[in-house]
Amino acid sequence: MAIFNSFLLGQVSQSVGNVTMCQYRGESVARGKIKFRRDNPTPEMLDMRAKIRELGSLAKRLTPVIRKGFVGVGTGTTSNAFISLNMGAVEVTAEHVATVDFDQLRLASGLLIPPVMTVTLDASGSQFSISAMAQEAMNGYAALEDLLYLVLIETELRQAVILEVGTREAGGTSSFSMPENWTAEQVKGYCFATSKNGKEASDSKQLLITQQE
């Protein structure tokens, strides 16, 4: 990088060949462009990149969910918050192939108290029944008007549904008919709560899905 004064060019901000000219702290600065970049990543870097790619792909599929579950987390995007929180939920092989462990996946993060919820699959294996327990208010951690959500993910297809089940004061019930292309054994359930205005959330909890006999 070089500082120069040019009566002919004046204050310039442009590129000529391999040289870029710009203004920096009142001075005219010229610097050469970097034509080549050596990238010799370590195995740890390759593992990290594999995790980020895998979680980034999943985040796109779960956008409606994580926009509710990661409100107010840090200064970045909800997708970045989701990726950062779930780095430990991804396993990487020696060949740097990443796989998400859905049993460790977290879909929400915050200070609110999580809901108490159950999910049951009927004997035919086609209908989910959801029940949320009513809870008391706790100053700063739970309000009666908080909203309670259930998320179901078909982990093989990477398809998801988010259901608003009720409020913390009243609890609630809901149902969901499993799509024909879903496999019951591949479905994972999670729940979390948000404030009524959507600006606060609880941590998510994975739910055990029981099946009726």
What whole-number distance in Å separates Cα of residue 83 and Cα of residue 59? 8
Identify each DSSP E strand in 25-89 by its residue range: 27-32
In the prediction, which pLDDT does 16 show? 54
> What's the mean pLDDT in 79-86?
94
Those residues with Cβ within 8 angstroms of residue 113's Cβ, 6 or more apart along the chain or in another chain:
135, 138, 141, 142, 193, 202
Tokens representing residue 204 in the block: 């998510």
In the prediction, which pLDDT does 164 show? 97
Whether 134 contacts 154, CB under 8 Å: no
The pTM of the full predicted model, rounded to 2 decimals, is 0.80
> What's the mean pLDDT in 114-134?
96
> What's the mean pLDDT in 137-163?
97
Sheet holding 117-121: strands in order across? 172-177, 127-132, 117-121, 209-211
Per-chain mean pLDDT for the chain: 87
Q: Where are the domains of the chain?
A: 2-32, 43-211
Q: What is the CATH number assigned to the segment(s) 43-211?
A: 2.60.40.10
> What's the mean pLDDT in 60-69?
96
